[in-house]
Amino acid sequence: MIVLTVLLLVVLLGMAALVVDVGYAYYAHRSLQASADAAALAGAQELPDPTRATAIAKEYSSSAGRKNEHPDITGVTTTVTTKCISSIPGCDPMNAVVVMERAPLKSFFAGVLGIDSFSIKATSTACSPCGIKPLDIMIVLDRTGSMCLRSDGSDDPACTDLKNARDGMKTFLGFLEPAIQWVGYAVLPPIPSGGNACTAPAHHSTSAANTAYRTNSKYMVVPLSDDYSNNGTLITGSPLISAINCTKGNGYTAYATALEKAQKELEDSGRDEVKDVIIFLSDGAANIGPSDLPLTSPYRKQPCRQGVNSAAAIKAKGTLIYSIGYDLNALGGGANVCQTTASSGAPGNAESPAITAYSALQQIASTGAFYNQPSAGQLKTIFTDIAADLARGTSALIDNDAN
């Protein structure tokens, strides 16, 4: 009986070790994980400053003397690193904080099994800016003929500028969460009568191009939608991505009505208590207005300045406008000349008082929301910066295996 009792005591102590020591280890690990999460989130709020982010993360750790110290878990060591995760916007120079906490635990009963102590570890990664804010966003693209010209004014059959705009827009959409960030798409010139998103505007030298702009023309290509991506992967067959991929360029430039139509879609189809955003890309100056308005209308007499005025009215309603000036250093195609509409319906004389395309696009933007790409080139960086700006001030815990 004594022998059996001794043997049973070993078994009972082993079971106690499993219940008490493993249970305590689980509790300790969850406690460390909670403090690592808190430390990572606190540090991420200080990004992109890696030094400040590291210091704040350590301050909110559970190491001795820190804000989340656990009196019953001693010897905690904390390691904090910062890194750049390319799949998240805002890497300038860092956009993520990684916190690792370790602690040794002395066993209560596991010693009978030869385990006197063991180590626990918790790791947490937080990014910033990377939180998801509910947004209603309208993208307005200038797809005029100059988007299919080289900077010297010669024809570019590949429409490289337009392709760069497509790539930039799709890069931007890849950072969004469609369930809570709805996106619509408008173009100028508007869709020709009887056409669709894939129909090219009339050639800018034809009368059809001059009359394409009317106050009731169809600028809206895709209304606010929430089906453009799935877990960060763009859905090629969705109306939004399909329309962006097949957009063709031609015709003259007019800002004002396109911006007004985008705002109307936000007002008609947008959600209450959700921030409205317009992202407007143009590669030059406005040079025409709606053909059903008199030549004395500011839409035709001062198309650039009317774009600024229309944008001011939109911003006064609380809408945030980003504007992107693309290839404004182009020498050909009259890209930088703000012109009135002539009696023939084509661009006429320089707008008076004079205003440049750069100044117009800068004034159209909300404060701090103007981006200038003076020469032809990729637009992915600018659209990534806009995605990061829209997420500014947010942070989130992410998968530790993110890269």
Rounded distance, CA 37 to CA 354, Å?
Answer: 56
What CATH number has the domain bearing residue 175?
3.40.50.410
Range of the domain at 194: 135-394
* Same-domain pairing of 280 and 360: yes
* Same-domain pairing of 59 and 205: no
Q: Quick one: pLDDT at residue 351?
A: 92
DSSP string, 149-212: B-TTS-B-TT-HHHHHHHHHHHHHHHTS-TTTEEEEEEEEEEEPTT--TTPPPPPTTSHHHHHS
Domain count, the chain: 2
Q: What is the mean pLDDT of residues 51-66?
A: 92
Q: Quick one: pLDDT at residue 116?
A: 65
Domain boundary among 68, 97, 128: 128
Residues 306-361 have pLDDT tens digits of 999 999 999 999 999 999 999 888 766 546 789 998 887 888 899 999 999 999 99
* Same-domain pairing of 344 and 378: yes
Q: Quick one: pLDDT at residue 403?
A: 41
* Same-domain pairing of 140 and 115: no
* Same-domain pairing of 124 and 139: no
Domain boundary among 128, 149, 177: 128
Q: Sheet with 181-191: list strands edge to edge.
A: 218-225, 181-191, 135-142, 275-282, 320-326, 370-373
Look at 345 and 246; give whichever has higher pLDDT. 246
Rounded distance, CA 183 to CA 176, Å?
Answer: 9
* Same-domain pairing of 124 and 205: no
Look at 207 and 350; give whichever has higher pLDDT. 350
Domain boundary among 110, 128, 146: 128
* Same-domain pairing of 105 and 162: no
Tell me, yes or no, whether 383 lies in a domain: yes
Rounded distance, CA 233 to CA 175, Å?
Answer: 9
* Same-domain pairing of 118 and 206: no
Residues 120-130 have pLDDT tens digits of 899 999 998 88
Q: Quick one: pLDDT at residue 151?
A: 82
Tell me, yes or no, whether 50 lies in a domain: yes
Q: Quick one: pLDDT at residue 401?
A: 46
Whole-model pTM: value is 0.81
Specify the range with the lowest mean pLDDT, choosing from 20-29, 92-101, 147-156: 20-29
* Same-domain pairing of 55 and 111: yes
Supply 177's token pair.
């969460």
* Same-domain pairing of 101 and 212: no
369 to each of 94, 259, 382, 389, how far by Cα in Å? 22, 16, 11, 9
Tell me, yes or no, whether 314 lies in a domain: yes
* Same-domain pairing of 187 and 86: no
Tell me, yes or no, whether 208 lies in a domain: yes
Tell me, yes or no, whether 203 lies in a domain: yes
DSSP string, 306-343: HHHHHHHHHHHTT-EEEEEEESTT--STTTTB-EEEPT
38 confidence band (pLDDT: 50, 70, 90): very high
Tell me, yes or no, whether 401 lies in a domain: no
* Same-domain pairing of 243 and 346: yes
Tell me, yes or no, whether 191 lies in a domain: yes
Q: Quick one: pLDDT at residue 17?
A: 59
